[in-house]
Structure 1
C-alpha cells in the first residue's frame, strides 16, 4: 500500500542513466533558481519603508536613493558571482570558495550559513506568500500558519518528483509574475505621468529633522533583503545543461537585469503614490490598488504575487540538497544526504528542508517581518566570505586580468561586510539567535566528521596481515512454547551447527513443569534450558543467561541469538501480540560479541 501511494505522489522510479535529462536549460533554470531573488521585490521596498517610517512620512523620499544604492550592490554581486561560476564550475558557491581559499573552518561557516539561509528562505517565502493572500482576503489572516505549511508540503512533494518536472510546473507562474509586475510598473508610471495619481508625497531632498545616519543604514540593510537568492545560481551549476558554466552565467546576468528593473520600479511607484507600510496590506497590494482599483487586475496581481512568494522557496529546494550533498561528500553531514531518490533528486535533503522550514513557520507564527532579519544575515555572511575567498584566489593565482577581478570582489566584500555589521548592530535583538545557532551547526559538522574518521579508522584492515578467524558456533534460541514458529527456527539453527540450545522463561513451578514435560515428549534433539523469573520479566533472565554463555564461549565460538518471529498477514495484527522478540533484539544489539538474527514464519490468515 505504501509503495502504491508513493508512486502516486512521487512518480515512477527513474534510471540513473536518465540523470542528464534532469539538467536545466537557461529558461527553466531562471524560473527555478531565480524565483527567490525575483520574488523579493514583493517585500524589499516594504522593508525600507518600514524603517524610514520611524522618522515620519516626510522621510519616505529617502527610499529612492537607498533603492539606487541597493541596485549598485546588486551589480557588484552579479559581477562577483559571475567570476565565481567560471572559477568553480563544479558548484558549491560560497562553501567551496571559502573552504579552498580561507580554510575548512571558514568554509564550514559559509556552508552552515547557507544551509540556515535556505531553511529561512522557505519559511520567509511561504510566510510572505501568505501575507499576500491575507492582504486580499483579510478573513484568512488567522489561518496564515496553516496556509504556509500547506504550501511547504506542496513544494516538498513537487521537488521529490524531480528537478525537471518541478521546473516545468513552476516556470509558468514565475514568468507570469515577471510579466504582471512589469505591467503594474508600466501602468503605474503612465498613470503618474498623466496626472492620475494625486498623493501628497514629500519632495526629493526635503529636510527631515529627526533622520539619522544610523536610521538610513538600517533602512539600506533592510532593503538588501531583496538581494537574497542571488548566490543560488553559482551554488547549483551542476544542475545546468552543458556547457554548464556558460548557461549559469547567462542565467545569472538575466536574473540581475530583471530583478534590478522590478525593484527600482516598485520603489519609484511606492514613492510617487505616497505608499506607507501597513501590517495588514503589502506595499505591492497598495500600489496595485492605487493603479487599477480593486478590480480583476488587482486580484490577478495579488494572486500571482502570492504564488511567486510561495514558489520562491523552490530556489532553496534546488540549492539546499546540492549543498548538503557536497558537505556530506566531505563527511561533514550524514551520508544519507548523498543518496539520490527514486526521481534522481537528493530526496533526504528535500524532506529535511521541508520539515525544518515548517517548524520555523510554526514557531514564528508565520510572521515574515520577524524572519527576514535572520534570513538576510544568513545570506550576507556567505556573500562576504565568498568575496574574500575570491580575493585570496586572485592574489595567489594572478591570472590574466586579475587586478580588475580583484577590485570587483574587494568592493563586494567590503559592501557585504558593512551590511552584515549593520544588520548585527541595528537588529541584534532579532538576529542574536544566529550567534547561537551557527556555532551549534559548526560543532555538529566537526562531530560528524570526527565520527566518520573514527569509524573509518576502526573498520580499516591490513589485507596482508589480517584474515578471518575460524571459530565454532553456539546458537541460543529463546522459545515461548512448542509451536511451528519454534520448530521452524530450531530447524534452521540445526542446519548451521549441532551446538544449539533452547531457552524458556517460566513464572511458576506448574508452568515450568508443564513445559519440560511437553519438550521431553516432543524431543526435537535440542537441549532446553529453563529459567525462572520471579519478577515476570522475560528479557532480563534471557539476557543474564546469554551474558554467561558469552563469557564462557566467546573465545572459541561465535554466539548467535536466533529469535523466532511470526509475521502476521495484516499490519494491524501486530498490535494484538506482544513484541518481546523485538525488545530482546533491541536490548541485545549492544552486546559486543553476540550476533542477533531473526527467523520469520509467515502466517497466511
Structure 2
C-alpha cells in the first residue's frame, strides 16, 4: 500500500492495536447497552408506526385495536428477553442462537439459525438506515428525495467507525443512544402530562384529516388477517434482542451476569417507549396512511406525510421548536446507529462460523483495530445492495425483516428446552432441579410464543416479501454446506501419507528468458545459487530477429547456462512453455521442475498494468501442473524504491541490487564456470545439461 493509502487508512481506522490489548476493548454495561441494544430500542421509532400504517387500510376505526396489538407484542418481547437471560448464562461463549441450536438440535438446525441471523443482521442495517433517511427527510427535504444516496453514505460512515474497533465505536455511539432515550421519554411524559393532567388538546398535523379505508369494509377473516399482519409488523420491535447473546464475550467480567443485566435494561426501556408511543398516538389522534394521496382526500395541497415520531414531537413540543428538532434528530441518529448492533453481531457470528469451516477463514481474522474487519465489510456490501434494490423504502423492507429473527428465536428456545432436559437427567439436587424446571418452563413458553409469531409472519407476509428472506436463508445455508465440503475435501487431500515424504530424484531448473537484461541476470544468478541438478534457460521464439540478438548477447557474455529456444509459430508464449515443461515431466516423472520467472516490482498500480502480464499468465497456468514449482525472482524498479533508503555500500562482486554477479557465486572460486558449448535450439531438454 502506498504512503497515501496508509495515511488515509490510519486517519479513518486508527493505528493498529496489539493482540494482547484485546482485554482492554471489553465493554462495561453502560457502553454495552448502546452497542448491543440500540437496534431493539430504536425499533420503537418505526414499529408502532407500522402497526398504525397496517391498520389504516381498514380505516380509522381499526386504530382502536392498536393498544391490544401493542400489548401482544410486549408479551412476546418480555418472554424473549426472559428466555435469553437463560441463554447467556448457559452459553456464554458468544455462539448465541447458533451454538444453542447446534449443540441441542444438531448441525442442520444450527446452520438454519446461522442463515436466519445472517439475513436478519443484513436487513437490520438496511431497515434502520432506511428509517433514518425517512426521519431526516422530515427535516431536510433533500434527504427525502435522495434517500438511497443518503443510506449508502450512512452505511459507509458506519462501516468506517466500526472498523476502528468495538470499544471506540461504542463510546462514540453511547451519547446519541442515551440522548434518544431521553428525547423519546421526555416527549411521552410531557405529552401524557399535557393531555391527561393539564387537559390540553394536543393535535398532530394529521389529526383532523379524514382517513378513507382501502376497499370494502373489513370484517370476519379479512379483519383477523389484517390484525395478524399488524401484529407481525409491530413484532419488528423484537429484532436485536438476540445480539446480546451473541456478544457475551465482549462484556467485562462477570460476562454472563453483565449480559443478563443489559438484557433486562433493554426489555424495560423498550417496553416503556413502545407502549408510551402507542398511547400518545391514540390520545393525539395521529393518522398514518399507506397511500396518503388517496386515503387523505381532504389533505391540503402539497401535504407530505411525516413519520409518526415526527408528528408526535411536532404536536407535543408545539411551543418549543428545539424539542421537536432534538427528538427528530436523535431518532434519525439512533436509527443509523441501530445498524451498529448488526455490525457487532454479524462479524462475530461470521468468525464463529469460519472456525467451524462454514464460511471463508478470512472472516476469523481480526483487523488492525482488533475488530473482525472482513465481516464488517461484507455486511456493509450486502446492506448497500438491499438499500439500492428496495430504494430505501422501510415498508418494502419490513416484510422481509422479522422472518429470520423469529426462526432463530424459535429454534434457540427449542434448543434450550432440550438443554435443560439433558441437565435434568443427571441432576439429583432438588433445589437445582427446581431452578432447571423453572428455566425450562420459561424457554418452553418462549418457544411456543415465538413459534406462533413465526407461523403468523409466514402466513401474512409470505407473498409480501417474506419469500425473499426465506430464499436468502436457503442460499446462505447451501453456501455454508458447500464451503464446509470444500474445506473437508481439501483437508483430506492434504493429509500426509507415508509415501509423501519421498524426495524427488532430481531438480530440473528452467529460467524463462525474454531479453538479456538485469532481471534475467538476477534470475540466472539465483537459479545457479539454488544448484539444481539440471539448469537451462528457455526463450520462446516469436520474432526471429529478437531471438538472434538474444543468442549473440548470450554468447558475448559467455553465460554458463544453456539457452534453448522453443518455437512458437502462432506467436504464443504461455502454451509453448507449458508444453515444454510437460515434456520434461513426461520424460522424467520423478523429477521436480522449478521454473524461475523474472518479474518487475513497480511502485504504482498503473505500472502493474504495463508489466508482468505474461508472467502472471504463465504463473497461473504453471501452478496447475503437478511436479512443477514456480519461483518469482523480483527486480525492483526505481519507482518501488523511492520510499526506501538504499545502502550506499555494496559487497565486492555484488550486483547493483545486492545479488551475486553472474560470473561469481558464493562458494565458487576462480574463474567462471565453463560455459556450455553453443546455445541449443531444441524442443526437448537434454539430460546432460547440468550446472558445472
Q: TM-score range by the shorter chain?
A: over 0.9
Q: 1:201·1:272 contact (CA, 8 Å) conserved in 2?
A: no
1:183 pairs with 2:195: no
Q: 1:159·1:317 contact (CA, 8 Å) conserved in 2?
A: yes
Distance 1:200 1:130 in 2: 27
**Alignment-derived partner of residue 575 in structure 2:** 540
Distance 2:579 2:499 in 1: 36
Instruction: Sort the Cα spacing of 1:570 and 1:197 in 2 relative to 1 into closer, same or farther, 3 A.
Output: closer
**Alignment-derived partner of residue 433 in structure 1:** 468
Structure 1 position 278, deviation (Å) = 4.7
Alignment of 1:21-420 (within 5 A): 21-193=24-196, 194-197=199-202, 199=207, 210=219, 212-278=223-289, 280-293=305-318, 295-398=321-424, 399-401=432-434, 402-420=436-454
Instruction: Sort the Cα spacing of 1:15 and 1:476 in 2 relative to 1 into closer, same or farther, 3 A.
Output: same
Structure 1 position 549, deviation (Å) = 1.5
Structure 1 position 72, deviation (Å) = 1.0
Distance 1:116 1:16 in 2: 30
SS at match of 2:634: strand
**Alignment-derived partner of residue 559 in structure 1:** 593
What is the number of equivalent residue pairs in this alignment?
598
**Alignment-derived partner of residue 686 in structure 2:** none
What CA deviation, in whole Å up to 9, does each residue of 1:66-108 have, x standing for no partner? 1111111111111100011111111222111111111110011
| Contiguous gaps of at least 5 residues in structure 2 | 211-216, 291-304, 425-431, 640-692
Distance 2:40 2:547 in 1: 74
Instruction: Sort the Cα spacing of 1:200 and 1:281 in 2 relative to 1 into closer, same or farther, 3 A.
Output: closer
Q: 1:451 aligns with which of 472, 486, 491?
A: 486
Q: 1:94·1:383 contact (CA, 8 Å) conserved in 2?
A: yes
Q: 1:324·1:349 contact (CA, 8 Å) conserved in 2?
A: yes
Structure of higher RCO (CA pairs closer than 8 Å, 6+ residues apart): 1
Structure 1 position 225, deviation (Å) = 0.6
- Root-mean-square deviation over aligned CA pairs: 1.8
Q: 1:201·1:274 contact (CA, 8 Å) conserved in 2?
A: no
Distance 1:156 1:488 in 2: 45
SS at match of 1:183: helix
**Alignment-derived partner of residue 421 in structure 1:** 455
SS at match of 1:432: helix
SS at match of 1:221: helix
Distance 1:568 1:254 in 2: 56
Q: 1:16·1:344 contact (CA, 8 Å) conserved in 2?
A: yes
**Alignment-derived partner of residue 515 in structure 1:** 550
Distance 1:201 1:71 in 2: 30
Distance 1:70 1:569 in 2: 60
Structure 1 position 476, deviation (Å) = 1.1
Farther-moved stretch of structure 1 (301-310 vs 567-576) = 567-576
Q: 2:516 aligns with which of 482, 495, 516?
A: 482
Q: 1:101·1:392 contact (CA, 8 Å) conserved in 2?
A: yes
What CA deviation, in whole Å up to 9, does each residue of 1:580-599 have, x standing for no partner? 11121122121122111100
Structure 1 position 135, deviation (Å) = 1.9
More helix by percentage: 1
Instruction: Sort the Cα spacing of 1:440 and 1:209 in 2 relative to 1 into closer, same or farther, 3 A.
Output: closer
Distance 1:540 1:302 in 2: 66
Distance 2:218 2:637 in 1: 85
Distance 1:19 1:167 in 2: 15
Distance 1:231 1:581 in 2: 51
Distance 2:492 2:612 in 1: 40
SS at match of 1:474: strand
Distance 1:553 1:494 in 2: 21
SS at match of 1:461: coil
Q: 2:133·2:143 contact (CA, 8 Å) conserved in 1?
A: no
